[in-house]
Amino acid sequence: MARILMCPPDYYGIEYEINPWMSRSRGAVSARARQQWQELYDTLQHIGATVELVPPQPGLPDLVFTANAGLVFRQQVILSHFRYPQRQREEPVFEAWFRTHGFEVLRLPQDLFFEGAGDALFCGRTLFAGYRIRSDCLAHQEVARRIGREVLPLELVNPHFYHLDTCFCPLAPGQAIYYPPAFDSYAQRVLRERIPELMVCPDHDAYRFGCNAVVVGKFVVLNAGCDALAELLRRAGYQPILIPLDEFLKAGGSAKCLTLRLDGEDAAIW
């Protein structure tokens, strides 16, 4: 059974600007954000996931994006060390949650930035890892050493797609969705060579964060308005579920960012 970590949006808001989607003059509407988050939460339970919660904290508006808590690998978690000080304050909150829930917490050297599952996703036995905008390439090498798995660093070149999970979504071992313009040409080649079934996300849907999808078995939960991508998924045998998450797009997030898979993604071979 899928086990997912989320954090209620009690203190969610646009209080600073650390990516091109965020503008303090375009704040989140709390009631709508709550409603959208609730629908995601209900949907995930409905398709068979167990959802656990990190208690929200005042002053940490981005804590809702639990994908960035760390990288979970079996009973271990490599804790994130955020690039921006505004988000570094989330680190002790996530650390405490993992410790009280039976995870062994590993930390990277403090001079390396690493933003967890936002930038590191398994497809099969291999960990695909985005770097340059948030996480450091060297951090990924350290992660590879700690977990003893092959890690393929992918350079992210478009500031709108600043985390790997905004432009890449593993569906199953050997199968994924990606948005090519988010990657440098070398990374595009690596993805094409290493993942036999690669689906290209159309531009329009990529900018609605269609790649930022939660996969549970054959269900794929993603932001409303990604109709072309939904059709591609249906043709590949998946059942897309579109729910409005535009209040979170204002912070540069969508379905996947709001979740952290604690038991290994469907696409991961642990």
- Tell me which residue of 138, 144, 98, 146 sits closest to 122, measured CA to CA: 144
- Closest CB 81 distance from ligand ARG, rounded Å: 13
Q: Which is nearer to ligand ARG, 40 or 197 (CB)?
A: 40
CB of 211 to ligand ARG, least distance (A): 10
Give the residue with the Cβ less far from ligand ARG, 81 or 87. 87
Q: What angle do CA 251, 256, 257 make, to 5 degrees?
A: 40
C-alpha count within 13 angstroms, C-beta hemisphere, residue 114: 29
**Which residue number places its CB atom closest to ligand ARG?**
118
- Check 7, 211, 226, 257 and give the catalytic one: 257
Tell me if residue 257 is catalytic.
yes
> How many Å apart are CA 175 and CA 211, to the nearest integer?
13
Contacts of 126 (CB under 8 A, 6+ apart): 149, 150, 151, 152, 194
Exactly one of 81, 163, 169, 201 is catalytic; which is it? 163
User: Could you tell me the two tokens for 188?
Assistant: 């595009």
**If 0-12 CB within 10 Å is exposed, 13-18 middle and 19+ buried, where does residue 12 land?**
buried
Q: How far is the CB of 227 from ligand ARG (least distance, A)?
A: 22
Least gap, CB of 246 to ligand ARG (angstroms): 14
Nearest approach, Cβ of 196 to ligand ARG (angstroms)? 26
What's the min distance (Å) between Cβ of 28 and ligand ARG?
Answer: 11
Provide the binding-site residues for ligand ARG, judged by CB under 6 A: 18-19, 22, 62, 65, 67-68, 87, 118, 163, 165-166, 251-253, 257
Q: Write the CA distances from 267 to 51, 128, 189, 190, 264, integer angstroms.
A: 19, 12, 20, 18, 8
Q: Judged by CB, which is closer to ligand ARG: 60, or 236?
A: 60
Q: Hey, which residues are catalytic here?
A: 163, 257
